[in-house]
Structure 1
């Protein structure tokens, strides 16, 4: 049994050795972000041949409900699976949008609902094309739509192949019927049902960010005047992003839905089709109407923008450069390690946060804290239970597909 004198000698000695063993030292680190970062940038349609070779991270597709459900209670997700597998096979992730009404197409209401007694869907011209309009007065369509997103969320909410989900009603799910039979409660869902739908989605989707059109700020939707709805964590997309009338027609909708919404959910959209030059000059130095894309991306804190035509107008280097102006960009400002642990300070130098969990990791050991929600200009320090003589720092996320990597800048001597 140790004597009191021996204990008095050993305790300070052991404490001192432990302190020496755990001394933190700066770790030299040089790194550079050289690629478009996962879940950001210019988006191409999955059917675009350039999707396989362009410097992108995201691909887009519309889906109709009848592509999954044709008979009551019978869900066939094979079309969605093929799409997600194809996208992930190219090392990308998906932006997916469900629609009920699409110009020139029948409504995507499942056939079993269209055949029910009392269902009164209609076909009318929109933009000069015969277009199917749903009957939102029928209770089964309303019930089914909520059930559909129950099933969708249960299957895909944590799926790394899916980055963002876009939802809505009306033409292209953009919360409007500017050309066609617009009748609240019939061809377009009632305000009450729209509230139910938004609240339902907010409860079901715990991981995947969901987005609505900026046109949801209009008179046919309850969002802009309902504080409870505005408090939901939805993002916004703007499918006429760089049109000449954007400042007077679109931007007020961004304001109405909350100009700081990007802090909790993604902002995205699509380059405008109003004028030919909106697509042709989208990435020109001064854009189509006097503002560069980089400036717009920073001003609206964009994470992504659909620009399917851009491979026809721009070289890959320009698409890469514009894409890297979107979303997050991490910089390691401090990296210190001991034999047993590390501390890392990471700053976001981008224009938006990352909206999925991502963790600084040393030698494969992750921090308990996530980079999710780290705002531009902010930094966060992470404690990691791994160190050593030559510690390796990475940023890891379960939301990546094979071939993707989150990069960071660093210049630590």
Structure 2
């Protein structure tokens, strides 16, 4: 991305965003400087004679000296990171093709850790060397992210006081393996230690299914290698439990797209995906007509594990006999922020001169052109028109004889 100091080539990003948007989907993006087994992501202008140190090359994580961990406290590296974040925000904050940005940039895979070079003494790190940036450097980076993004959600890999202060979301990249709070270093234990137990109510949670698990986590009986010993040691191996406890809205599962699932495993994987995030259903509705306007009320219940995170405006529409919209009245972002088990009611008045008689329906279009709209879990969703939940057929104005 960074082709020279303060110079950026966004063509690769645009290619990904456009390709994904053509399928009607939003993207989750992460940028990295150090990805084990791949050439370094550090910009060329910081390398070579007079450049930053490349001494932190390593062989673990199958890297074999290919990438290196930069010194994040080097002022040149920090300046590049802060400038890149600012340029990224200027170009893409609020871009409707992007659902979430995971913070990235720091640590292996951009996951904000450099294990085993994290300060702890162990056989692969006998001197307890720490390659992570200082707290002051991380605070500078978090502040840069907060300054750069007003509309697009950012998610951090690990909870902290600084992450909580900035109101960022989180992502757990060892999902269903070290998610549950059974050990002090598991994801939800760290969430509690950072005072972020209720953060999911305001900021979204995401992550990645722990890479060894996708091939086996949806099998019954569970057939993950060494699972019994791992579970005895405190690991999860519990997808549904991790979803319920973390309130995750999205989880990467590479297996689903690499080779896929078959049979009962596929059914359980699909059900697992459906269990993530919000599950909104229309649970009550009324339509009344006083001769001047049709008063419409719709109650929405969230039966999922997390709220809908974005402010997508909804609208009541009137559908003609052919399913075409003959009138529409906008309402505030009704689906946003409804917590699991809670309800919200939206109301509107449709003037009788706004439309012919027809079916009143509720509609929440995707803010991205061509994107998948928000749909309710009701079986009658889309029955009368695509992306619409029909409430009732009503007369909006009297019919007169010619």
TM-score grouping bracket, smaller chain normalisation: 0.7 to 0.9
The structure in which a higher percent of residues are helix is: 1
2:163 and 2:238 mapped to 1: Cα distance? 33
Is the partner of 2:24 in helix, strand or coil?
coil
Which residue, 144, 151, 169 being the options, matches 1:207?
151
Q: 2:91 aligns with which of 134, 140, 155?
A: 155
> TM-score by structure 1 length?
0.72
Kept after mapping to 2: 8 A contact 1:327/1:353: yes
2:140 corresponds to:
196
Contact 1:357 1:372 in 2 (8 A): yes
Distance 2:336 2:205 in 1: 15
Name the residue aligned to 2:23.
Answer: 90
Tell me how far 1:396 sits from its aligned partner. 2.6
Q: 1:259 aligns with which of 194, 197, 203?
A: 197
For residue 174 of structure 1, report the CA deviation from its aligned partner.
Answer: 1.8
Q: Where do residues 297-316 of structure 1 align in structure 2 (5 Å cutoff)?
A: 297-311=243-257, 312=259, 314-315=261-262
Among candidates 36, 58, 61, match of residue 127 of structure 1: 61
Aligned length: 332
Distance 1:116 1:84, change over 3 A: farther
2:185 equivalent to 1:280: no
- Give the equivalent residue in structure 1 for 2:173: 239
TM-score normalised by the chain length of structure 2: 0.74
Unpaired segments of 5 or more residues in structure 1?
1-67, 218-222
Residue 4 of structure 2: SS of its match in structure 1?
coil
Q: What are the residue-to-residue correspondences of 1:340-379 with 2, within 5 Å?
A: 340-363=294-317, 364-379=328-343
Using the TM superposition, give the Cα deviation of residue 110 of structure 1 relative to its aligned residue in structure 2, in angstroms. 1.0
User: Cα–Cα, structure 1 residues 256 and 116, in superposed 2: closer, same or farther, change >3 Å?
Assistant: farther
Q: 1:331 to 1:201 in 2, by over 3 A?
A: same
Deviation, 1:403, is 4.5
Matched residue, 2:124: none
Q: Could you tell me which residue of structure 2 aligns to residue 174 of structure 1? A: 111
1:165 is the counterpart of 2:111? no
Q: CA RMSD in A?
A: 2.9
**Which has the higher mean CA deviation after the structures are superposed, 344-353 or 228-237?**
228-237
Residues 401 and 116 (structure 1 numbering): CA distance in 2 closer, same or farther, change over 3 Å? Answer: farther
Q: Distance in 1 between matches of 2:179 and 2:278?
A: 28
1:141 and 1:387 mapped to 2: Cα distance?
60
- Could you give the per-residue CA deviations for residues 237-294 of structure 1, whole angstroms, max 9, x where no partner exists? 1111122796323132232242222111111211223xx5x22222235765686533
In 2 relative to 1, CA 137–359 (structure 1 residues): closer, same or farther, beyond 3 Å? closer
CA contact (8 A) 1:365 1:386 kept: yes
Deviation at 1:171, TM superposition (A): 0.7
Residue of structure 1 equivalent to 2:370: 402
User: Which of these residues, 316, 321, 326, is aligned with residue 276 of structure 2?
Assistant: 326
Give unpaired runs (5+ residues) of structure 2.
Answer: 120-126, 225-230, 318-327, 381-390, 393-402
Question: Cα–Cα, structure 1 residues 284 and 385, in superposed 2: closer, same or farther, change >3 Å?
Answer: farther
CA distance in 1, matches of 2:52, 2:347: 59
Give the distance between the partners of 1:79 and 1:286, measured in 2 at CA.
Answer: 42
**Structure 1 residues 301, 285: CA separation in 2 closer, same or farther (over 3 Å shift)?**
farther
User: SS of 1:151's equivalent?
Assistant: helix
Q: Which moved more, 1:290-299 or 1:348-357?
A: 290-299
Is 2:53 aligned against 1:106?
A: no
Residues in 1 aligned to 2:43 and 2:35: alpha-carbon distance in whole angstroms: 14
Residue 313 of structure 1: CA displacement? 5.4
Q: Does structure 1 retain, via aligned residues, the 8 Å contact 2:334–2:344?
A: no
